Each structure stands twice: as structure tokens, then as C-alpha cells.
Amino acid sequence: MIDFPSRDQTNKAIERLRRFVECESPSYDPVAIADGLELVRQELGASGFTIISSLQDMESGTFFAEFNDSGRLSGRPILIACHFDTVHPVGELSINPWRIEGDRCFGPGVLDMKGGIALAILAVELASKKLARPVRILMTSDEEIGSARSRERIEAHAFESLCVLVPEPARENGGLVVGRHAVQRYELQAKGMPFHAGRDPSRGQSAINLLARKIVSLEGQSRPDASISVGVISGGQWVNCVPEKANAEMICVTSDVKSREALRAIISQEQVENFKIIPGLERPAWVSSVKDHELYSLASRVASELRIKISPEISGGGSDGNFTGALGIPTLDGLGPCGEGAHTHSEHLHLSSFVPRAALFANILCRV
């Protein structure tokens, strides 16, 4: 049994987390992402990992690293699927700077998922001498924008692995994730008719006006088992023109086949000649399998030995666990720390959850 990390080990992990958080890494910023991936490579190298990046990995904005205790370990590896990108633009640190206030540790991406990455590295360090098989970390950089580039690499690495562990934030009650709903992204395209807006706007047809009405109508039909949310809009070019084009991005999460059908019905009803709803990236539904539950049962036994409370949860939000879980590869998600405010200006994790969950993670690594 691996015990809780010492104060010294924990402090080092939190210091590493500070370096991760202070290296801002929004998905859309290739320079920031490159700096971020380089930082993690260095940190993993310092923790005894060997960096093994194929050209395919690098071209998809990912790299992977293996810990095999100087060649001692063999057999099918355990894969830890991580993403270093965040939804926070460079500069967010001035709004939500790295700081520790009591039990709360703040900063952009501190919970989703830089805290999870720091926790996973600490877990490998704690488990290093007791591991029975190699541990691999796959680090991607486009999870927050749908994992278009990295999906194929995630799936390829997962197929080579015994199981996949994902250090996304814990559920609010500390629960682990054993299944996730399907996530579908769409592009909305509204088309109008231009006219001189200063002369007589009523003689044109505003694409912005149409899009706005459609967004209100679509979001108005959002429901707990089929959520609809528009997060990005653009349109028009000159204020003195009735706008001809307006676009938006929409994300929908459905919990089962029935809700997916309900969503499809809403979408086909809202589509008209001048308004198109085009499907984009998808995260398939991850329906928990027997193997996922076996992995959870192992975690549950470890948790009760460590006197940590966990539960198996199905999560609404997507993660890269959707891909591996949907493929039937044993997957356990939500292994990161507990916290609040992911994707907001007050994102923080609870330090009191970091130590026990690092021990939980380390013991799972040794026993699978």
C-alpha cells in the first residue's frame, strides 16, 4: 500500500503545478502551446520519464512519455491521457493569478487539467518502485476545442494499452467518472440579403437578426438530457450594410439515444433555406462497460483502504475519455483533484483533495 505523499513531495508537486499554471496555454495559441508542451517534457524528463514522440504524435500537437523504471518494467502499459491546453487566453493570469488562499489554489487551468497532470506525475513518482508495468502519459493540446487533431493518436495509443486513466477534475462530490454523454458540435450559418443600412435597412435581410432569433429559439429548447449552447458568434463587416452572413458555433450534449433523436428533431425543425446547421466534431457517448466497472471497483477498494470517499458517476461534459471508453478500452476518468469554477475567472482546486487523490492514483497504477 502506498501511503499519502509527504509534505515535501506534495510541496514539490504544487510548485510544479505553479509552473504549469504560469505557462498559459490556450488551445488556439500555437506559440503558447509549444512552450507549454516543452515545459511538460522537461518536467516529465526530470521525473524519470523517457520522451518518445513520433512524427505523427508531433504533427498532431501531442507527445508521449513512458516511465519504465530504467527498463525494469514490461507488459502492456497503462495510459494516462492528459491535455495541456486550457480555455483561458494569455493574460488570464492577471484576472485569476496563481495564488493559494487557505485550501483553495487558484489559476487558469489549475483544475482543468493542470492540477490533474501534476497529480498524475506525483502518483507515478510515488508508485515508481512498486509498478508492475510501464506507465505512459499522452499529452495533447487540443482537447478544449474538440480533439480533432489528436483523436487518432489518442485512440492509437489507447489500443496499445491495458487501460486508460484520465486526470480530468473530480466530480463535485469527489466521484470518479465511468461514462460520459455524447457531445456534438455544430456550425450555424445564417444567410441574409445586403442593403445600404443607412438608406433603408428594411429592404435588406439581416443575417445577424436571423441568427439571433435562431439562437434564442434553439437554446430555449435546451433540456437536461439534451443541452444546447451557443458559445461563439460572428457576422457582418460594415455597420452601414445590412449583414449578409452570420455564423455561430453550438455544442450539444445528449445523454442517450432517445435524447439524441429529440435533438435531431429540434435541429431539423430549425433548419430553413437561409439557416443551416452543420454537424462538426463529435465525441461519442461512452457507455460504461463491465471492464470500466472492474477498473472502478479496483479504485473503490483502494479508496476504502485509504478512507477516501468516491462514487461512480456519469458525466455530462466530454473528455478524451469518450474516445477510449467508446472503443471499449477500460477507462477511468475524473481522477484529478476536486475543485470549482473550471472554465471561469475563479477556477481553483481544493488542496485537501490533492494529497489523498495522488495516493489513490498511485495505488491504482500499482494494482492494475
Residues 168-227 that bind Zn ion (CB under 5 A): 168
Does 125 interact with Zn ion (rule: CB under 5 A)?
Answer: no
Shortest distance, position 110 Cβ to Zn ion, whole Å: 12
Q: Which is nearer to Zn ion, 146 or 194 (CB)?
A: 146
Q: Which is nearer to Zn ion, 270 or 282 (CB)?
A: 282
Shortest distance, position 315 Cβ to Zn ion, whole Å: 11
Region from 103-111, 165-173, 253-261, 358-366 binding Zn ion, contact rule CB under 5 A = 165-173
Does 333 interact with Zn ion (rule: CB under 5 A)?
Answer: no
Q: Which is nearer to Zn ion, 168 or 244 (CB)?
A: 168
Strand residues in the chain grouped as ranges (E): 50-51, 63-67, 78-83, 99-101, 104-106, 135-140, 163-165, 176-180, 182-191, 226-235, 245-254, 275-283, 312-315, 331-332, 339-340, 348-350
Does 303 interact with Zn ion (rule: CB under 5 A)?
Answer: no
Shortest distance, position 113 Cβ to Zn ion, whole Å: 4
Distance of CA 199 to the CA centre of its chain: 49
Number of residues that bind Zn ion (CB under 5 A): 3
Residue partners of 238: CB distance under 8 A and separation at least 6? none
Rg of the chain over CA atoms, in angstroms?
22
Handedness of CA 107, 109, 114, 116 (dihedral sign): positive
Contacts 24+ apart (CB under 8 A), 92-100: 92/24, 92/345, 93/21, 93/22, 93/24, 95/345, 96/345, 96/346, 96/347, 98/18, 98/21, 98/22, 100/14, 100/351
Q: Which is nearer to Zn ion, 57 or 168 (CB)?
A: 168
For residues 248 and 207, what is the distance between their CA atoms, to the nearest angstrom?
Answer: 11
Shortest distance, position 138 Cβ to Zn ion, whole Å: 14
Shortest distance, position 214 Cβ to Zn ion, whole Å: 29
Does 347 interact with Zn ion (rule: CB under 5 A)?
Answer: no
Distance of CA 9 to the CA centre of its chain: 26
Q: Which is nearer to Zn ion, 169 or 243 (CB)?
A: 169
Does 112 interact with Zn ion (rule: CB under 5 A)?
Answer: yes
Does 85 interact with Zn ion (rule: CB under 5 A)?
Answer: no
Region from 153-161, 164-172, 204-212, 300-308 binding Zn ion, contact rule CB under 5 A = 164-172
Does 349 interact with Zn ion (rule: CB under 5 A)?
Answer: no
Of 79, 105, 113, 253, the one binding Zn ion (CB under 5 A) is: 113
Q: Which is nearer to Zn ion, 306 or 338 (CB)?
A: 338
Q: Which is nearer to Zn ion, 254 or 322 (CB)?
A: 322
7-22 vs 115-127: helix crossing angle, rounded to 10 = 140
Does 320 interact with Zn ion (rule: CB under 5 A)?
Answer: no
Neighbours of 72 (CB within 10 A): 10
Give the interface with Zn ion as residue ranges (CB under 5 A): 112-113, 168
